[in-house]
């Protein structure tokens, strides 16, 4: 039994996830830590071990925003580590990139507290735990944390 709603669990399973899934996150760690700007913390490692590499293809109306596709592949945001480092310093968080939302329109990161955030020229939070992954799947808008760094 997972903490996801039936709808979200179906979407995740259709994208290749299953409870207990484990992938090696070492290559992502090595690639993104190479420039010294970001550091993979335990929450990022745990999250990517379970969800890393998933591509969730969604579109349509959501609860409070459109459902948009996202990919949990940190390699897709390797060139954006400076953005994550800057926002992390601004917010007092260690943010590690975990992927992108809406085909690269937005970036996704995770804090040491396991809070999942949307990063653009502003930052918003999807929250923590299973609810943080449910929100982008169901089309629930994240809460804006900061509008400028």
Q: Tens-digit pLDDT profile for the chain (149 aa)?
A: 468 999 999 999 999 999 999 999 999 999 999 999 999 999 999 999 999 999 999 999 999 999 999 999 999 999 999 999 999 999 999 999 999 999 999 999 999 999 999 999 999 999 998 889 999 999 999 999 988 75
The architecture CATH gives domain 6-146 = 3-Layer(aba) Sandwich (3.40)
Helix, strand or coil for residue 92? coil
Element (H, E) at 56: strand 55-56
Element (H, E) at 45: helix 42-51
d(CA 58, CA 129): 21
Q: How far is CA 56 from the centre of its chain?
A: 12
pTM here is 0.94
Residue 77 burial by Cβ neighbours in a 10 Å radius (0-12, 13-18, 19+)? buried
């Amino acid at each position: 039994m997972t903490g996801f709603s039936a709808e979200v669990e179906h979407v995740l399973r259709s994208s290749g996830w299953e409870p207990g899934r484990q992938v090696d996150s070492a290559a992502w760690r090595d690639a993104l830590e190479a420039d010294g700007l970001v550091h993979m913390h335990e929450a990022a490692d745990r999250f990517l071990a379970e969800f890393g590499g998933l591509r969730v293809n969604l579109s349509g109306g959501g609860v409070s925003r459109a459902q948009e596709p996202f990919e949990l592949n940190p390699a897709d945001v390797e060139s954006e580590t400076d953005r994550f480092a800057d926002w992390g310093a601004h917010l007092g968080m260690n943010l590690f990139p975990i992927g992108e939302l809406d085909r690269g329109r937005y970036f996704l990161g995770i804090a040491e507290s396991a809070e999942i955030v949307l990063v653009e020229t502003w930052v918003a939070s999807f929250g923590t735990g299973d609810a943080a992954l449910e929100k982008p799947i169901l089309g629930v808008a994240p809460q804006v944390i900061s509008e400028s760094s």
